[in-house]
Structure 1
Amino acid sequence: MTLPAFNFHEHGGLHADSLRAFLVHCARNSVSDIFLQGGGPLVVDLHGRKVRASEFRIEPPQLTRLMDDVFSEQIKGNLKAGKGVDRALQLTGDMYNRYGLERGESLRFRCNFVQATIGDYDMVPALTLRTIPTVIPELDELGLEEDLLPCLLPHKGLGLITGETGSGKSTLLASTYQYTARNDPDRKIVTAEDPIEFLLNFPDAILMPEQSQIGRDVASFAEHLRLTLRRAPGVIGVGEIRDPETLSGAIMNGQSGHLCLSTMHTNSPGETIPRALMLVPEDQREAMAWNLLSNLQYVITQRLLRTTDGKRQSVREYLVFDDEVKESLGQLKHTQWRNWIDNRLSERGERMSDKAWRMYQAGRIDRKELLTVISPREITRREAL
């Protein structure tokens, strides 16, 4: 897997504008992530594979100057103080087609800045930039299961999309918002994100979605949820549930007759409820568990697996919390819910491991990729059947 070469020499070397042009080049060639490290070469992630994108290395002072020129001079001060920075970068073309963008064309990147020790260098900047597609894919382009699509937009409650970093959670959320705007235009969409990734710019929408950025437009996800109830929302988006206040606010919004959509970093539907309950003090977990169960509509866990054709394919494990599921779980202690959920999905062959195994048997993924989902012992067991 190779990235078409970008000739920095033709652009006068590495400087602010040539870096911007390089980012556009990456976005045009299906790169998902770009890595810049003080003392290291440019490296990109192409369909889940790391590829070196430059012969030269970026000296730390040079990278600091690029941060000042392309982003903000404030970032280096934050890094020296031990504070990481998350923000979005937008590049827009002009009449001169700068950076390789047409006039009015825009590309966005989600950017993370930290200070680290890298090789022989101490206290140097490290940047990770994720390309954000300019076109939000349609839900049917994401290979969504037929029985899942009708369940994505219930009238109220809480829907969770979970998975590891880079698993496509934001893409699935954005596609769901787009589907809502087109098919249920009476539902006002309000979101809070950290930072804003996909721009929900739907020209044909009766009422455009309202997107707030944490730290710029609103202080926190919890504050966003508190303010949202007075904004006549239909669908409420929360970038991530990562503290007890946000969890409580999401449940409260669901109880108030709204649909709240959010994400968590969990690896299965069965793991999600216990992980959410870990956010609250132990003496509050039982009450929170029942509140969560009464409002939860679905949990979708997603992975992107590297396929043998050099690309990636999304694989999902999910559970819709319909009346039957809630009634069954309601007869158990909340500490037993994870096992019940895992067993139900296993009995139906709907675990992530089941789907990865079927992909392996069909030649869609190799054994190395299968091992990211299934243990060697489990592979041996399945091969013996």
Structure 2
Amino acid sequence: MSNPFWPEDGVSLRGEALDRLLMWCSEQDASRIQLQTDKPIVMKVHGLNRTITREALLPGIVEDAINYMFRDSTAVTHLRQSRALDLSHTIWPDRRARRYSFRINAVPTLVGPEQAVGITIRPLVDIPRPLAEQNVEPRVLEALEGDNGMYLVCGATGSGKTTLLGGINRKRLEDPDCHMDLVEGSAPLELLYDLVPAVNSTVMQTEIPRGLPTFAEFIRAAMRQEPTDIVVGEIRDPETVVAAIQAAISGHRLLSSLHTFDCASTVRRIAALCPADQRDSLTISFVENLRVIVNQRLLRSTDGRRTPIREFLPVSRAFRDRLLDADPKHWPELTRKAVETSGQSFEQSIRSAHREGRITEAVAAAAIRQEL
């Protein structure tokens, strides 16, 4: 690489210059951009970090950046009060050309002994990537065909959960036989669907807390909109898990994501997030409405990029009955066994990716060792 740095390196990163940097990073296929006080800017491309500015960022530049993306000079005040900021940022310089969307997380940090600001910026796709380009297994596609219940897409940060969620929704929106009315509440919104040709379907998206203050309020509003599909961007706390389960038991199709390692840990995580005084009733409702769990990871692929591997479990009526007849403390073990007999484990997915030539033998061997 003859010049690894941003072509405008040295320009003060304020306002439109920051936007130009972010657009350039997005065009380099960056999945993550980090701005931090007294540090140069680093972006990650296909899992590898790359420093793109020579000089460290001055405190005022970083503070101006978060204020600019927050669209309010109070952003730094929030950080100084020990509050993290989650927000979205969109750049659309030409309405006839590409739009650039980003998810922003800003937190107070330390660089050595000094107070600092850290900003993580994740470029988002302008239009969700179709499932046909995501190596989605036919059995997963079949399990996603239902009209009600909970459909969970899980994995670590950066594992492609959002990409898969977007592909699932895009497929339904583009299907002329699917008359879908989708409402989404996310904090913040990571995907936009206005450029998807929704043939006979509608989409309404709300950002939490910018549009509505809480997920509970979003669910209450959603129930008055007669949706077919409800998307809760991420289940991350008790309030959200309650809202998600309420959406599922109302007879709708509920699509959401969690940060979990595998299918068994997904079941355990949902139970742990349920408030103690409602845990019994909520976990029963969760099991009765669960339709599929998909856990995804990304591995280095033979083309130098990354490719998905998946553990998944289509949840049958018989398996739901088996869980409901068992003590909840045994649910993770029952789920692990069901994955082996009725779904697909990560080890099976790794071996399949190797057979298909998507990953090398060395990558496959290292990934399988982690499963042992």
What's the TM-score, normalizing by structure 1? 0.87
Partner residue of 2:359? 364
1:251 maps to a residue whose letter is I
1:200 alignment partner, one of 185, 189, 193: 193
Partner residue of 1:324? 318
- Is residue 210 from structure 1 mapped to residue 204 from structure 2 by the alignment? yes
Of the structure 1 ranges 132-141 and 331-340, higher mean CA displacement relative to structure 2 is found in: 331-340
Partner residue of 1:125? 117
- Contact kept in structure 2, 1:40 and 1:58, CA below 8 Å: yes
Superposition pairs of residues 69-108 of structure 1, within 5 angstroms? 69-71=68-70, 72-94=72-94, 103-108=96-101
Partner residue of 1:44? 43
How far apart in 2 are the matches of 1:14 and 1:276?
A: 42
Structure 1 residues 22 and 301: alpha-carbon distance in aligned structure 2, compared to 1, 3 A threshold: same
Of the structure 1 ranges 246-255 and 70-79, higher mean CA displacement relative to structure 2 is found in: 246-255
Deviation of residue 154 (structure 1)?
A: 1.0
2:150 alignment partner, one of 153, 158, 162: 158
Deviation of residue 92 (structure 1)?
A: 1.1
How far apart in 2 are the matches of 1:283 and 1:214?
A: 26
1:226 alignment partner, one of 197, 220, 227: 220
Alpha-carbon displacement from aligned partner over 1:99-119 (angstroms, at most 9, x marks no partner): xxx75531100011111002x
Structure 1 residues 104 and 307: alpha-carbon distance in aligned structure 2, compared to 1, 3 A threshold: closer
Alpha-carbon displacement from aligned partner over 1:212-239 (angstroms, at most 9, x marks no partner): 0001111111221122111110000001
Structure 1 residues 359 and 129: alpha-carbon distance in aligned structure 2, compared to 1, 3 A threshold: same
Deviation of residue 207 (structure 1)?
A: 4.5
How far apart in 2 are the matches of 1:49 and 1:21?
A: 22
Structure 1 residues 293 and 2: alpha-carbon distance in aligned structure 2, compared to 1, 3 A threshold: farther
Partner residue of 1:111? 104
How far apart in 1 are the matches of 2:236 and 2:124?
A: 22
Partner residue of 2:52? 53
1:139 alignment partner, one of 118, 122, 131: 131
Deviation of residue 283 (structure 1)?
A: 5.8
1:350 alignment partner, one of 344, 352, 356: 344
2:77 maps to a residue whose letter is G
Structure 1 residues 127 and 2: alpha-carbon distance in aligned structure 2, compared to 1, 3 A threshold: farther
1:138 maps to a residue whose letter is P
Structure 1 residues 373 and 280: alpha-carbon distance in aligned structure 2, compared to 1, 3 A threshold: farther
2:291 maps to a residue whose letter is Q
Structure 1 residues 15 and 244: alpha-carbon distance in aligned structure 2, compared to 1, 3 A threshold: closer
Partner residue of 1:167? 159
Alpha-carbon displacement from aligned partner over 1:280-319 (angstroms, at most 9, x marks no partner): 2446433333221110011111111122432100111110
- Contact kept in structure 2, 1:3 and 1:51, CA below 8 Å: no
Alpha-carbon displacement from aligned partner over 1:164-200 (angstroms, at most 9, x marks no partner): 1111111211221111112244220000011112111
How far apart in 2 are the matches of 1:222 and 1:366?
A: 47
- Contact kept in structure 2, 1:3 and 1:29, CA below 8 Å: no
How far apart in 2 are the matches of 1:280 and 1:86?
A: 24
Where do 5+ consecutive residues of structure 1 fail to align? 95-101, 379-385
Deviation of residue 68 (structure 1)?
A: 3.3
- Contact kept in structure 2, 1:3 and 1:46, CA below 8 Å: no
Deviation of residue 140 (structure 1)?
A: 1.4
Q: How many residues align?
A: 368
Alpha-carbon displacement from aligned partner over 1:320-341 (angstroms, at most 9, x marks no partner): 1112322333442222121122
How far apart in 2 are the matches of 1:248 and 1:268?
A: 21
Where do 5+ consecutive residues of structure 2 fail to align? none
- Contact kept in structure 1, 2:180 and 2:202, CA below 8 Å: no
1:41 aligned counterpart, secondary structure: coil
Partner residue of 1:33? 32
Partner residue of 2:370? 375
Partner residue of 1:291? 285
Structure 1 residues 173 and 358: alpha-carbon distance in aligned structure 2, compared to 1, 3 A threshold: closer
Deviation of residue 253 (structure 1)?
A: 2.5
2:25 aligned counterpart, secondary structure: helix
Of the structure 1 ranges 357-366 and 241-250, higher mean CA displacement relative to structure 2 is found in: 357-366
How far apart in 2 are the matches of 1:153 and 1:226?
A: 26
Structure 1 residues 363 and 188: alpha-carbon distance in aligned structure 2, compared to 1, 3 A threshold: closer
CA RMSD of aligned residues (A): 2.6
Partner residue of 2:274? 280
- Contact kept in structure 1, 2:300 and 2:363, CA below 8 Å: no
- Is residue 335 from structure 1 mapped to residue 329 from structure 2 by the alignment? yes
Of the structure 1 ranges 338-347 and 317-326, higher mean CA displacement relative to structure 2 is found in: 338-347
- Contact kept in structure 2, 1:307 and 1:366, CA below 8 Å: no
